[in-house]
Amino acid sequence: MTDFWLAAGLLLLVALSFLLIPVLRGRRAQQEEDRTALNVALYQERVAELAAQQAAGVLDAEQFGKGRDEAARELLADTEGAEPQRLGRLGKPLPLLAAVLVPLMGLGLYLHFGASEQVELTQQFAKAPQSMEEMTRRLELAVQAQPDSAEGLYFLGRAYMAQERPADAAKVFERAVAVAGREPELLGQWAQAVYFANNKQWNAQTQALTDEALKADANEVTSLGLLGIAAFESEHYQQAIDYWNRLLTQLPEGDASRAALQGGIDRASEKLKAGEGKVAPALAEQTKARLTVRVELAAALKDKVKADDTVFIFARASSGPPMPLAAKRVTVAQLPIEVELSDSDAMMPNMKLSSFPEVQLVARISRAGQPTQGEWIGKGAPLASSTTAAQHLTIDSPDQ
């Protein structure tokens, strides 16, 4: 910041010069004016002296005229170098007051609207960090100064992962997704951070994030690598080999990661040859969501509905597409009823219950049989799609 303040000080001196130079020139003009007034007074005194001598008979009219003309020439000679009087004057107090207020106002406005933090960060990043901890601190300051920078959030998340702080990295990548949108690379990094923060335990959120990333980009490298790691850790070696082979084709020749990746594939192959490993459902099947919910009708509504009115019981994403992810259809006559919603009840093959980490349960009565519009409704609070505890819904409110 020293260079910045030196430059600001030089600019301030230039600005002050425009204010103070007129004051100094005013002093010089005042001196010229005082000298001219003195010369005029001396001229008038000389003329008065000559007039007195003429009255006393010492000088005749011709001598008086010559003396007055000589005094006039001397006055003219003394005032020839004087500058003409200037009509517009600001006076001394105003420029001096401005000279004090201008730097104070400039400093105040800069501290309020300026970017001193960004200038300091730029100077810090101009120097190479001495350690990973120092780099992380710089990135934290950068994110604090620019909280909406997806690039800054991304690099901070990577730094946290390098420092084995996956929980912090998961929060940062979630913020990056909120800022930049659901980009496949960010989703893959987020899923990886969640996986390691969860002590390498695969869950519905990790599955949903990797599914979404690979749906947008089938070759998203972080998701492929993560799925391979998770499969290997759970002793599903063939799955690990499949994921890592897909990843291997994405890496350029000479990439340092290729050797480590090939080593992982070789180890998985050796374990398969030795008869080790499990033949189990895919990870998506292991994390298959299954929600149990009991639905009943409020007593106040029993006289306002018909026994054959349709009841739609469904789960939808808390934040995402509004269409149901899984649904069951019953009638009012069957209430109260307990149903189970799972991926097998999915309305669309690529929009499963397990694809979203958080969902909301809804029960709607529709006399016309329309799942999106009805007369009465009951809603539950958002909950994790991996929830195993039984839930309860009461249809008790108008559907608006």
* Domain segments of the chain as ranges: 35-73, 128-202, 219-280, 290-398
Write down the H helix ranges in the chain.
Answer: 2-55, 61-79, 93-113, 116-125, 132-145, 150-162, 166-180, 184-197, 204-216, 221-233, 237-248, 256-273, 283-286
Q: What does DSSP say about strands 337-342 and 391-395: parallel, antiparallel, or unpaired?
A: unpaired
Task: For residues 45 and 67, give the distance between their C-alpha atoms in angstroms, rounded to a whole number.
Answer: 12
- If DSSP codes are grouped into helix, strand and coil, which group holds residue 368? coil
Helices 256-273, 237-248: crossing angle, 10 deg rounding: 150
Query: Tokens 């649904």 label which residue?
Result: 327
pLDDT one digit per residue (tens) for the chain, 400 residues: 555 556 666 666 666 666 556 655 555 545 555 566 666 666 667 667 767 777 777 777 777 677 777 766 665 666 555 545 444 444 556 555 655 666 666 666 655 555 555 555 555 555 666 687 888 888 888 888 888 889 989 999 999 999 999 999 999 999 999 999 999 999 999 999 999 999 988 888 898 899 888 888 888 999 999 999 988 988 888 888 988 988 888 888 888 888 889 999 999 999 888 888 765 454 444 456 789 999 999 999 999 999 999 999 999 988 766 788 899 999 999 999 999 998 888 877 667 888 788 899 999 999 998 888 899 999 998 888 888 888 999 999 999 7
The single residue listed with the structure tokens 């409110």 is 397
Pair of tokens at residue 89: 């004057």
**CATH code that applies to domain 290-398:** 2.60.40.2990
pTM: 0.47
> Contact 238/218 with Cβ under 8 angstroms?
no
- Determine whether domain 128-202 maps to CATH 2.60.40.10: no
Cα gap 22→208, rounded to integer Å: 73
Q: For the packed helices 184-197 and 150-162, what is the interaxial angle rounded to 10 degrees?
A: 30
